[in-house]
C-alpha cells in the first residue's frame, strides 16, 4: 500500500490531492449531517464555488444525498468512507505518526485522527468515533465499562451507535457524578453511551469531591457500596486527560488551590490526581470512584486531543502509560517535540 501511494504521489500528485479533499468533505458531511453547503464551506474553509463542484460530483456518484434539511451521506458513501480510512492514514502520514508516538510514550497502541480539536469541533467527534470503535472491538460478554467525565468523553457518547453485541454490557461512571456541568458528568456520559448502544447502565449519585468524614460515611451505605463494587470490577476504563488549571477552574476549586498547583507546576489532571511535567503526582483530591492504583488488570483507553493537551498527555503517560491512547494529529505532532 505504501509503495503504491508513493508511486502515485510521484506520477499523479493531483489525483491524491483531489482524493484527500473529497475524503475530508465526505468525512465532515458524515459527522455533521444534515449540513448545508454554506455551513460546510465555512467549516472546511473552502469557497462555495469549489465546494459546489465537489459535492455535486459526490452526489452524482451516489455518495451524498441532497435534501432541504441539508446534505447527508448515503449508505454507499458510508461504505466507501470506511474503505478509504486506512488509505488516508497512510496518505496523510498518520500511521507513521502513531508508531512514533507509541515509541515516545511507551504506549502499546496509539490511534491518531486527522486535525486539531482545539480549532475544529468536528475533530472531537472523530476522536469519539475512534473511541467507540475501540470499545466495540474490545468488549466482551457481560463486560462492565467504567467511564470518566469531561467534554471529550461527552463527544465519545455522541458517536456511540446501536450494537446488539452490547446488550449485556453495563456502563458505569468511574467517579462521583456531581460537581461539573451536567452534560460533562460521568453519570450523564455513561447513561448516554448505554442508551445509544442499547446496553445497561448504573449511576453513582454522590458528589465528585468529598471530605474524609463524608467519604468514610458514604462508602458504608449499602447502595453506594454495591455500585462502587461494580465500578471497581470494570474490565475496561475510558477516560480523558485534562490540563491542570482548566480542570481546577472548571470544578470550582478555591483560588488557594489553583495557586498551589500553579506554584508546583502542575500540567495534567486525571482521576482527581494532578501531575507535573515529569509525571510526578503533586496533589490528589479525595474522590469517590476508581483510583489510579486500581487500574491494574484493566484495559485502559485514554482519549485527549488538541495541541494544548500535548503536555498534559505527556505528563500523565510518564506516570502510567495506557493500553491505548486516542489523540489527534496536532497533539501527536506536539508530543514528538516535547523533550
Quick one: pLDDT at residue 4? 63
Quick one: pLDDT at residue 43? 81
The neighbour count for residue 144, using CB atoms within 10 Å, is 19
The list of the chain residues with pLDDT below 70 reads: 1-13, 177-180, 207-216, 218-219
Taking only the tens place, the pLDDT of each residue in 156-215 is: 999 999 999 999 999 999 987 655 677 788 999 999 999 999 999 999 877 656 566 666
Taking only the tens place, the pLDDT of each residue in 245-258 is: 988 887 777 888 88
Torsion of CA 130, 133, 135, 139, to 10 degrees: -160
Quick one: pLDDT at residue 281? 94
For the chain, report the end-to-end CA distance as a whole number of angstroms. Answer: 33
Quick one: pLDDT at residue 303? 98
Q: Which residues contact 256 (CB under 8 A, 6 or more apart)?
A: none
Quick one: pLDDT at residue 55? 92
Residue 183: CA atoms inside 13 Å, Cβ hemisphere, count?
6
Quick one: pLDDT at residue 278? 94
Quick one: pLDDT at residue 237? 97
| Residue 30 near residue 73, CB atoms below 8 Å | yes
Domains and CATH numbers, the chain: 1-91 (1.10.10.10), 93-337 (3.40.50.1360)
Quick one: pLDDT at residue 54? 92
User: Which H helix or E strand runs over 274?
Assistant: strand 273-276
**Rounded to 5 degrees, what angle do the CA atoms 151, 180, 318 make?**
55
Amino acid at each position: 500500500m505504501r509503495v503504491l501511494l508513493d508511486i502515485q504521489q510521484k506520477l499523479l500528485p493531483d489525483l491524491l490531492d483531489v482524493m484527500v479533499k473529497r475524503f475530508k468533505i465526505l468525512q465532515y458531511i458524515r459527522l455533521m449531517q444534515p449540513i448545508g453547503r454554506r455551513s460546510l464551506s465555512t467549516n472546511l474553509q473552502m469557497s462555495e464555488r469549489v465546494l459546489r463542484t465537489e459535492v455535486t460530483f459526490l452526489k452524482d456518484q451516489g455518495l451524498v444525498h441532497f435534501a432541504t434539511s441539508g446534505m447527508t451521506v448515503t449508505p454507499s458513501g458510508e461504505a466507501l468512507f470506511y474503505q478509504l480510512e486506512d488509505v488516508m492514514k497512510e496518505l496523510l502520514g498518520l500511521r507513521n505518526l502513531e508508531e512514533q508516538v507509541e515509541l515516545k510514550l511507551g504506549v502499546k497502541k496509539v490511534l491518531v485522527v486527522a486535525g486539531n480539536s482545539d480549532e475544529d469541533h468536528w475533530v472531537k467527534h472523530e476522536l469519539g468515533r475512534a473511541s467507540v470503535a475501540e470499545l466495540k472491538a474490545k468488549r466482551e460478554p457481560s463486560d462492565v465499562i467504567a467511564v470518566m467525565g469531561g467534554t471529550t468523553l461527552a463527544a465519545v457518547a455522541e458517536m456511540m451507535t446501536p450494537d446488539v453485541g452490547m446488550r449485556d454490557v453495563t456502563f458505569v461512571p468511574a467517579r462521583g457524578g456531581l460537581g461539573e456541568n451536567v452534560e460533562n458528568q460521568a453519570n450523564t456520559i455513561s447513561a448516554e453511551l448505554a442508551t445509544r448502544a442499547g446496553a445497561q447502565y448504573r449511576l453513582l449519585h454522590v458528589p465528585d469531591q468529598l471530605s474524609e468524614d463524608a467519604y468514610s460515611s458514604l462508602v458504608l451505605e449499602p447502595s453506594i457500596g454495591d455500585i462502587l463494587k461494580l465500578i471497581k470490577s470494570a474490565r475496561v476504563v475510558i477516560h480523558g486527560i485534562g490540563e491542570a488549571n482548566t480542570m481546577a477552574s472548571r470544578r470550582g476549586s478555591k483560588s488557594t488551590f489553583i495557586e498551589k498547583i500553579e506554584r508546583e507546576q502542575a500540567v495534567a489532571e486525571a482521576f482527581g490526581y494532578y501531575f507535573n511535567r515529569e509525571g510526578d503526582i503533586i496533589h490528589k483530591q479525595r474522590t469517590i470512584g476508581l483510583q489510579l492504583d486500581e487500574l491494574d488488570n484493566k484495559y485502559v483507553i485514554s482519549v485527549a486531543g488538541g495541541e494544548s493537551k500535548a503536555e498534559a498527555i505527556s505528563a500523565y503517560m510518564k506516570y502510567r502509560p495506557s493500553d491505548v491512547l486516542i489523540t489527534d494529529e496536532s497533539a501527536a505532532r506536539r508530543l514528538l517535540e516535547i523533550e
